[in-house]
């Protein structure tokens, strides 16, 4: 009886819908992960560049800014 129900058009349609929703969710999560990975890479690069600049030119004190 269960096999007959599983092969019904409604069950097949429902499974296709669920599969499509799952694939969309996976795609969305992968897109978000790529976006966050790029943002993390950019933040890391900025931090490294800032540290290198501080090593080359030193840090800028608040007193030095007013001159």
Residue numbers of the domain that contains 49: 9-65
Rounded CA gap, 18 and 11, in Å?
10
Does residue 48 belong to any structural domain of this protein?
A: yes
pLDDT score of 11: 83
pLDDT, tens only, 18-64: 999 999 999 999 999 999 999 999 999 999 999 999 999 998 765 55
Rounded CA gap, 16 and 10, in Å?
10
How many domains in the chain? 1
For the CA atoms of 52, 56, 57, 61, what is the dihedral angle to 10 degrees?
50
Does residue 4 belong to any structural domain of this protein?
A: no
pLDDT score of 61: 65
pTM over 0.75: no
Q: Do 11 and 5 touch, CB atoms closer than 8 A?
A: yes
């Amino acid at each position: 009886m269960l096999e007959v129900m599983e092969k019904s058009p409604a069950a097949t349609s429902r499974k296709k819908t669920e599969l499509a929703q799952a694939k969309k969710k996976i795609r969305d999560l992968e897109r978000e992960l790529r976006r966050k990975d790029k943002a993390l890479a950019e933040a890391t690069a900025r931090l490294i560049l800032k540290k290198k600049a501080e090593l080359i030119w030193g840090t800028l004190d608040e007193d030095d800014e007013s001159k």
